[in-house]
Amino acid sequence: MRVESGPPKGTSPRVEPPPQASRADQPPTGWRLWLVAMRPRTLTIAVSPVVAGAGWAWAEFAALRPLPLLVALLAALLIQAGTNLWNDLGDSLRGGDQPMRQGPPRVTALGWASPDRVRRAALCCFALAASGGLYLGYVGGWPILALGAASLVAGWAYSGGPRPIAYTALGEVFVVAFFGIGAVCGIVWLMGDALSWRAVLVGGAIGSPAAGVLMANNYRDLEHDRLVGRRTLAIRLGTDSSRLAYAAFVLAPFPMLLIPALPVGTWLCLLAAPWALRLSLAFATTPRGPAFNALLAGTARFQLALAALLALGLAL
C-alpha cells in the first residue's frame, strides 16, 4: 500500500502559485493599449522616407523647411498608425486574427478594445493626418494634396473594402509606392518645389526594405494566412522564393544608391551592408514563428539606419 508522506514537521504545507493569467486576461490600459495597437516597431517605416527625402532635398536643391518637414513627419506617423489600427480592426472582423497567429497581440481580436473604439481611433489618426495635409497642401500645392489624399485612401484600402490590399500579392508594391517613392518624392517637392528622377530612385531604395518588413510579417504567418483566404506574395512565391525575395528587398538599396549619377555621399550607406547580409541569413535560417517578430523589427531598424546614413552622407 502506497503511503503519501506529508511535509516535514515544523514546516508549512507547500502552496502552489496560481496559474499565470494569459495576456488576454491582463490587457494594457490607457495610452499603453493604444501604443500596442499602433505597433510602434513598424512606425519607423513612416519616419525613414522623411529622413531620406529631407537629406536628398538638401543635397540637390539646398532647400530645407523645418516646419513643413515636422508637420509632414507627424502626418506620416499618423497615417501609419491609422493604417495599423484599421488593419487590427479589419483582420479581426474578417476572422484573420486566429489563435494560431504568431505575431504581436491584436487588441480587437483579443477583446482589449471594442471594434467601435478601434475604428474611432483609426479615423481620428486619419483625420489628424488630413488636417496636417491641408497645411502641407498650402505650402506645396496640389501635388502634395493629391499625394496626401492618395495616401489616406491607400491606408484605408490596405485592410478595408471588398478586396483589401493586405489579402493580395500587391502588399509589397503598395509599401514601396507609398512608404518609399511617394513619401520621399513628396518630401523633396515640399522642401524644394522641384523633383528629379534621382529622387524617385532614392525613394525606391528606401521603400525596398519596408517591403522586406511586410515580407517578414507575411512569411511568418504563411500557413495561417493561407487558411483564412489570403493570397500574399509570400504565399504566391512559397518558402524558398520568399527567402530570395526578402534578400532582394534588403540588398537592393545598395546598387540603387551607388550608381554614378548620385552624389558620392550615398556611399556611406555601405556601412549598413553587413546588417543587410545578417538579416538575409537570419531570414533563411530562422524557423517561422514568434522569433520572426524580432527579425521584422530588425528590418524596420535597418531601413531607418539606411535612411539616416543616406541623409548624413548627403549632408557631408
Domain holding 267, by residue range, is: 31-315
CATH number at 258 reads: 1.10.600
Q: What is the full per-residue pLDDT of the chain (316 aa) written as tens digits?
A: 444 444 444 444 444 443 433 444 577 878 888 888 888 888 999 999 999 999 999 998 888 999 999 999 999 999 999 999 988 888 777 765 555 556 677 888 888 888 999 999 999 999 999 999 999 999 999 999 999 999 999 888 888 878 889 889 999 999 999 999 999 999 999 999 988 899 999 999 999 999 999 999 999 888 888 887 889 999 999 999 999 999 999 999 999 999 988 888 899 999 999 999 999 999 999 988 888 889 999 999 999 999 999 999 998 8
Report which of 284, 290, 301, 274 is spatially closest to residue 209, judged by C-alpha positions: 301
In whole angstroms, what is the distance from residue 304 CA to residue 312 CA? Answer: 12
Q: Report yes or no on 13 lying in a domain.
A: no
For the record, the C-alpha cell of 22 comes out as 494569459
Give CA–CA dist 219/295, Å, rounded.
11
In a domain, 8, yes or no: no
User: 34 vs 108, 121, 128, CA distance in Å?
Assistant: 11, 9, 16
Q: Tell me if 281 is assigned to some domain.
A: yes
pLDDT at position 99, please?
55
Helix (H, G, I), strand (E, B) or coil at 163: coil
The answer to whether the beta carbons of residues 39 and 104 sit under 8 Å apart is yes
CB 277 within 8 A of CB 298: no
Residue 267 C-alpha cell reads as: 556611399
C-alpha cell at 88: 487590427
Q: Is residue 11 part of a domain?
A: no
CA atoms of 150 and 35, how far apart (whole Å): 25
Tell me which residue of 183, 207, 187 sits closest to 303, measured CA to CA: 207
In a domain, 214, yes or no: yes
Asked whether residue 309 is domain-assigned, the answer is yes
| Domain assignment present for 164 | yes
Residue 269 DSSP label = G
Residue 6 lies in a domain: no
Number of domains forming the structure of the chain: 1
Cell for 126? 486619419
Contact 59, 265 (CB under 8 A): yes
Other CB atoms within a 10 A radius of the CB of residue 21 amount to 8
